[in-house]
Amino acid sequence: MVRNELRGVVAGEADNAVKAVALARTLRPDLMVVDDRLPHMVGLDGVRLSRIAGLDAALSVVHELPRAKVLLVSHTEAALAADNHRNGNGRMELCLYPRADAVAGQPERQVIFAALREKATPALRRRVITVSETGVLVGGLSMLGGLGLMLTILLAPAGVTLAAAGGLVLLLSLGARATAAVWPTLVRSGERQAGTLEERDDIEANLQRLPVI
């Protein structure tokens, strides 16, 4: 998201809130994207701890780095991370909240609340995947059946035809499945070339305009 949508450079990454705060102190980034479900942290001076370690980390950073902006991202859809980790095909979009209320009595600062959600898979792509998977099964079974018939004398010509037809169906189905698998990547590439710059600029503008805490 930082590289593709905001055209930024990733200066560092942390797998828990303690490391995130330490990195922020060292690197002093312009923008810090924080997962609200970071592992819990304790012992932050001057910060009232909540049950969300990401929020604690965000509040701690803006206390120490008043010029930094912190984007606190929530992705509560359970299947989001798991699905994208498995197949890498999911597309995600960033949804900035139009306003944010004060949290834990803190004055207005640079914490911006956002949500990360997966874009819906196009119906056509889902249909292509379903049909291609069926085609792979039918083509494979046809090839096996044709090879079996080729072992006989009387049905050998029919076996050759069946095996050839099954092989053709199998190849076409595999090609369709591969195309459906890489389709999101092709779409993203086309969007970047066709003008997703405007969408990224909208996100950057929202980061500048939103009421923050």
Domain limits, the chain: 17-120, 122-213
Task: Tell me the residue length of the chain.
Answer: 213
Distance CA 90, CA 7 (A): 20
Q: pLDDT-based confidence at 208, cuts 50/70/90?
A: low
Q: What is the per-residue pLDDT for 5?
A: 60
For strands 111-118 and 92-96, give the pairing: antiparallel
**Residue of 125, 22, 29, 34 whose CA lies nearest to 75:** 34
pLDDT exceeds 50 at position 98: no
pLDDT exceeds 70 at position 31: yes
20-56 in b/e burial notation, b at 16+ Cβ within 10 A?
bbebbeeeebebbbbbbebeebeebeebebeebbbbb
Question: What distance lies between CA 49 and its chain's CA centroid?
Answer: 29
pLDDT exceeds 70 at position 175: yes
Q: Any idea what DSSP says for residue 38?
A: P
- The 10s digit of each residue's pLDDT in 114-142 is 555 555 556 677 777 888 888 889 888 99
Q: How many CB atoms lie within 10 A of CB 71?
A: 21
| pTM of the predicted structure, to 2 decimals | 0.40
- CATH class label, 17-120: alpha beta
